[in-house]
Structure 1
Amino acid sequence: MTCLTYILFSKSINHYYVGYTCSDLQERLRKHNTNHKGFTGRANDWQIVYTESFESKTEAYGREREIKSKKSRDYIEWLISTT
């Protein structure tokens, strides 16, 4: 099973979102772009700007937590620029 850590960007609210999934990323993106109560429900123009692949859910989740722990837009933008 391949899992992904991903970063989304919404131009309308000028925010990044970091997450992970072990299912279809395009379907996950579709869900983020629907009207719901979570953080990503505030916008419907999320785009995938970065992904990393992992062999396990544990690794993908760990990487998501690592990126979020930086609490740094600069770090996220640096990661995106390296692809």
Structure 2
Amino acid sequence: MKIEARNNPQLDRRAIMRLTFVAKDPDSNPTQSPTLYRTDRGSWVVQGWVVTDPDALKEMNIPDGETAVEIPDRLVPFFRTDT
């Protein structure tokens, strides 16, 4: 899978990011989402539930071009750096 790097000043916006599927949440029905991907840049892409709680968002002070997603604890064991 390829996606463009957008809204990240640390990455070349024109560069293509290669994703490797790691895991889907098997206990989330019906879509088995959130999903975890490893990139070819030594980073992670997380697909999750959009955080919409205004108090939580205010606490995080998220800059323009970024967002927050929520994932369940059961996906954390899938994070690894040996790939």
Query: Is the radius of gyration larger for structure 1 or structure 2?
Result: 2
Q: Which has the higher contact order (CA 8 A, sep 6+)?
A: 1
TM-score tier, shorter chain, comes to: under 0.3
What is the TM-score when the length of structure 2 is the normalising length?
0.26
Structure having the higher helix fraction is: 1
